[in-house]
Amino acid sequence: MNSELTERFLKYVSFDTQSSEENEAQCPSTEKQFALAEYLRDELKALGLTEVEMDEHGYVYATLPANTDKQVPTIGFIAHMDTSPDCSGADIKPRIIKNYDGSDIVLCKEENIVTTVSQFPELKQHIGEDLIVTDGHTLLGADDKAGIAEIVTAMTYLMAHPEIKHGKIRVAFNPDEEIGAGAHLFNVEKFGCEWAYTMDGSEVGELEYENFNAASAKIHIKGCNVHPGYAKGKMKNACIIASEFAALMPENERPETTDGYMGFFHLTGMSGTVEEAQLSYIIRDHNSGIFQLRKQVVLDIAEKLNAKYGQDTVTTEVKDQYYNMLSQLQDKPQVTDIAKKAIEEACGFCNVVPIRGGTDGAQLSFKGLPCPNIFAGGLNFHGRHEFVPIQSMEKAMMTVVNICRMAAPPQPSQKERG
């Protein structure tokens, strides 16, 4: 078990870095993300990396210099510092279950918070491994502090093994990925890579280079409040209209009813009074044509309700967030081929899967930095049942090392040099 990797991960999860959708206009969206950014900046300097800097928005960049004179492409590795707004990331209390035996995991006995094998059958794939779990009151933060730990530890591994020849390696850690803004202020030109990889995937051995096209939809409903005793023909209850809007959305196209390449509408928030109400949706689809149709569904429902309750009762704001990176990678097979070989060497297999979500790599690919997504090892992200096998993190760390080696041309043998 790589104690350096594990200890580094446990240190990172001690920082509360939860981002906020309510503060999208500022970056980072929460001031507390700066604490981890500053720690990483100082750690990278202490480890001996060069060109270490943190910009005014909390983006951290650093370099592992090349140790070969060969012409080698500069490549990069990226992970995000923030954790999801969906679950608390404060005062995380991780626990290591060594040699997991395949049984249900009691996270908090007093409150009967249990990660059951029946609900989370992926646990069966990790029997005999060492799992890091929560105490049932917060998320863990493996998304994506596992990725950060794997990248940093891979850099220290390469420094300790100079016989592994590699080109210039750039690393970057950014805020606000969980609210879809992690790549917005990422300085691709400064990063200076021909291509990169985000270490932000899930299950061990996975490689992702197809992701959802994504949009957010904010629906605002304006009601009219009147004393309920005299409301006949006058009151418009915004909460009732909001419920009607939700009921009109396709019921079999939700996250809980879809998988694989199937898209969905996901109601992420609902609040209101008689006077006004709000609904928040995220819209996802791998197919760009169907993605456009999904956005139109929201607009059509709003139009239908305005015809029923009066114009301007329902207003909508639909905003694109990111697009499917596949279109940016199809003509660059070496980027994914190297990743596949590196994963196969570290894990014994490589499982190429579509991302049922998003990653900073999608936006970065459209900004000119081809950027597939590699597994970081964590599972059940964004909730109290999140866990990560230490062995999966070790394989992800070695995948980074393998990529750095494979991106460099073979060194000449002694006979060839002689």
pLDDT value for 322: 83
Q: Where in the chain is the domain with CATH 3.30.70.360?
A: 213-321
Percent of the chain with pLDDT over 70: 97
Rounded Cα gap, residues 166 and 194, in angstroms: 14
- Give the CATH superfamily of 3-210+324-406: Zn peptidases (3.40.630.10)
* Known active-site residue 177: yes
CB count in 10 Å sphere of residue 122 = 12
Query: Per-residue pLDDT for 150 more than 50?
Result: yes
Q: Which of 1-15, 56-70, 347-361 has the lowest mean pLDDT?
A: 347-361
pLDDT value for 1: 58
DSSP 23: G
- Give the CATH number of domain 213-321: 3.30.70.360
Query: Per-residue pLDDT for 417 more than 50?
Result: no
Q: What is the dihedral of CA 157, 163, 167, 171, to 10 degrees?
A: 0
Instruction: Quick: pLDDT tens for 332-351.
Output: 999 999 999 999 999 999 99
Rounded Cα gap, residues 61 and 41, in angstroms: 8
Please give the average per-residue pLDDT across 85-99, as a whole number: 97
Query: In the predicted model, what is the mean pLDDT of the chain?
Result: 95
CB 88 within 8 A of CB 139: yes
Instruction: Quick: pLDDT tens for 224-259.
Output: 999 999 999 999 999 999 999 999 999 999 999 999
Query: Per-residue pLDDT for 146 more than 70?
Result: yes
Query: Per-residue pLDDT for 413 more than 70?
Result: no
Please give the average per-residue pLDDT across 121-135, as a whole number: 97
* Known active-site residue 82: yes
**Of 16, 82, 144, 150, which one is the catalytic site residue?**
82
Rounded Cα gap, residues 37 and 61, in angstroms: 10
Please give the average per-residue pLDDT across 285-303, as a whole number: 97
Backbone phi, psi, residue 395, to 5°: -70, -35
pLDDT band at 321 (very low <50, low <70, confident <90, very high): confident
Query: Per-residue pLDDT for 410 more than 80?
Result: no
pTM over 0.95? The answer is: no
Query: Per-residue pLDDT for 352 more than 70?
Result: yes
Instruction: Quick: pLDDT tens for 177-234.
Output: 999 899 999 999 999 999 999 999 999 999 999 989 999 999 999 999 999 999 999 9
Q: Where in the chain is the domain with CATH 3.40.630.10?
A: 3-210+324-406
Please give the average per-residue pLDDT across 44-63, as a whole number: 98
Percent of the chain with pLDDT over 90: 90
**Of 16, 130, 150, 177, which one is the catalytic site residue?**
177
pLDDT value for 356: 85
